[in-house]
Amino acid sequence: MAGTEYTLPRAEFDKPVKLLIVVAPFYRDIADQMIAGARAEIEASGGTYDLIEVPGALEVPTAIGIAERMSNYDGYVALGCVIRGETTHYETVCNDSSRGITMLGLQGLCIGNGILTVENRDQAVARADPAQMNKGAGAAAAALHLIALVRKWGGTRKGVGFLPDAEEYKLAGDL
Buried b (16+ CB within 10 A) or exposed e, 105-131: beeebbbbbbbbbbeeeebbbebbbbe
Q: Distance between CA 135 and CA 130 in Å, rounded?
A: 8
Considering only CA atoms, which of 77, 83, 75 is closest in space to residue 30? Answer: 83
Q: Is 145 a catalytic residue?
A: no
Catalytic, out of 29, 43, 71, 89 = 89
Phi, psi of 124, rounded to the nearest 5 degrees? -65, -45
Catalogue the active-site residues.
Answer: 89
